[in-house]
Structure 1
Amino acid sequence: MRIAVAGGTGTVGRHVVAIARERGHDVVSLSRAEGVDLLTGRGLDHALQDVETVIDVSGIQAMSTKKAVDFFTHATQNLMAAEKKAGVKHHVALSIVGIDQANSGLYAGKLVQEDEVRHGGIPWTLLRSTQFHEFVPMSIKAASVGPLLFVPTMVTQPVAAKEVAAALVDAAEHAPQGRIPDLGGPRTEQLKSLVAAYLAKTRQKKRIVPLHVPGPMGKAMRTGALIPAPGSAVGRQTFLEWLEAMEEGGRQRPGEGRAANPGAW
């Protein structure tokens, strides 16, 4: 099958591309680095030639609700319009667990994206996942001010990005299913504990300052509204196992990772 991956160079996208190719699919990655711009539509028509399925894991680094909503509105509309012209048969999209409970920032953008997918005229499958393990180093980089590290009070159930990618490729290999069961990691954790473990493993000396995030987003983070409901799909790799694998592989050094919205996944 010929599969296009929107956001194919990102945290999950690179795994989607690799897994799909390992399974024998013909894969094209859609990113600005590869001449495709979802916001303007540049390069989409050419890139989607003969594509049967699109997996959309594109994203934006934005704390602004307006920026997130604008991005996902225009990017998804452009992508799906190009899919219609190309005769794409299946659109697979990645979203976030709990976005109904925290309609701001990135989460508001993802809600808009889901709506565009449902009404875009292409048969679809939608997977919501929790934050990835990589969210922890990203949040450390974003929330550090000198020796201080501001960590939101948050209940989380992080999942391996590679396992999310595998679930998306699985979905692409089946007929469109609508919304499929949410996917979370194997353990419910406090973000502060994960941050402390990462700092210890990477030998970073920072003082953790608890941060009380106001509004619906903060409430959702504190109450566990951003973790999957019982009966959801569960990944295998724990955060600590990911941390050990990261150290052994030497792929990530202290402080690496893109900046992220502390409420993002």
Structure 2
Amino acid sequence: MSTSKFAVAGATGRLGRHVVDVLVERGQQVVPISRATGVDIITGNGLAEALSGVDVIIDVASWHASEEDAATQFFRTSARNLHEEGQRAGVARITVASIIGIDGATAGFGAAKKVHEELHLSGLLPVRILRAAQFHEFVGQLLEWQQGDVAYVPAWPSQLVAGRTVAEELVDLATDPDEPAPGTPIPEIAGPRRETVAEAAQLLGARRNIKVVGVDNPDLPDAEYAAAGGLLPGPHAKLAGPTFQLWLDTQP
């Protein structure tokens, strides 16, 4: 595989750190983009300079909360800026991380992410999208949000996947020289085992002395859709990486 120059938007985030690691391990040139590196994809500060000579942008930048309007505005602005500055810099394409089942989202962060996909696909540059299941790392975040000895976690079916596994697949997609055939479904990556988010959280909760209670119908956007299997991978999905239990056993 020839060496290219990749800009990673959201390089210091939960997924972005893995994407940078994978690219570096594969001998690619990497430009990490985040406010921590002095580049802001919302204000545009430093973006033109960061994209100079870049061949491909990998967009894994995300909003930090689930409020729909704020998340939508973030994605709307970031997608526009990446396309406009990317086109000026001569970037060939953008590869974007998204979420399995997002096409059925109607509210909250999911709806914002659905708009994000649409904005990228209608943008100035060619775009490839990878939809991923919920990350293993997301389970810990659910427990931390509640900050107590008891955590109430959705009993939604999922096939949780390691962030590192998603990063590897995302880099594969970004570096693939072949364009997908017309009509090819958006690729998906998920873990090897179907379980509920609450079941995974109970494994982590046992390590942290937190009692986890599965909730069938939490007061969350699109709860019924998720409970009915809306977040499960489709038949064309790639299943890879460790199970949540195996991944957890490797964590400090």
Distance 2:222 2:14 in 1: 23
Q: CA deviation at 1:179?
A: 5.6
CA contact (8 A) 1:6 1:58 kept: yes
Unaligned runs of 5+ in 2: none
Matching residue of 2:188 = 182
Distance 1:192 1:215 in 2: 15
Which aligned segments of 4 or more residues in structure 1 are displaced greater than 4 angstroms? none
Q: Distance in 2 between matches of 1:40 and 1:52?
A: 22
String of CA shifts for 1:95-121, please: whole Å, max 9, x gaps: 000112222221112111111111112
> CA RMSD for the aligned pairs?
1.6
What is aligned with 2:70?
A: 67
8 Å contact kept, 1:101–1:216:
no
2:105–2:114 contact (8 Å) kept in structure 1: no
Helix, strand or coil at the partner of 2:111: helix
CA distance in 1, matches of 2:197, 2:89: 43
- TM-score, with structure 1 as normaliser: 0.88
- Give matches, 1:246-261, under 5 Å: 246=251, 250=252
Q: TM-score, normalised by structure 2?
A: 0.92
Unaligned runs of 5+ in 1: 251-265
Q: 1:148 to 1:46 in 2, by over 3 A?
A: same
From the superposition, tell whether residues 125 and 207 of structure 1 become closer, same or farther in structure 2 (CA, over 3 Å): closer
- Give the superposition deviation at 1:11: 1.1
Residue number among 130, 149, 154 corresponding to 1:152 in the alignment: 154
Report deviation, 1:209: 5.9
Paired letter, 1:30: I
Partners in 1 of 2:225 and 2:166 — Cα distance? 22
User: Residues 31-50 of structure 1: matches in 2 within 5 Å?
Assistant: 31-50=34-53
Deviates more, 1:29-38 or 1:151-160: 151-160
Identity of aligned residues (%): 38
What is the CA–CA distance in structure 1 between the aligned matches of 2:44 and 2:225, rounded to whole Å? Answer: 35
CA distance in 1, matches of 2:136, 2:171: 19
Q: Is the CA contact 2:100–2:132 (under 8 Å) kept in the aligned structure 1?
A: yes
Q: Tell me what 1:220 maps to.
A: 225
Distance in structure 2 (CA, Å) of the matches to 1:11 and 1:215: 22
Shift of 1:159: 0.5
Cα distance change, pair 80–173 in 1 and its aligned pair in 2 (3 A): same
Q: Structure 1 181/205 Cα, relative in aligned 2: closer, same or farther at 3 Å?
A: closer
Distance 1:137 1:156, change over 3 A: same
Match of 1:167 among 147, 166, 169: 169
Alignment of 1:15-26 (within 5 A): 15-26=18-29
1:152-191: CA deviations, max 9, x gaps?
Answer: 2211110111011011111111235486421111011011
What is the aligned length? 245
**Post-superposition shift, 1:216?**
6.1
Q: Distance in 2 between matches of 1:237 and 1:186?
A: 7
**Contact map agreement 1:68 1:108 (CA 8 A) in 2:** no
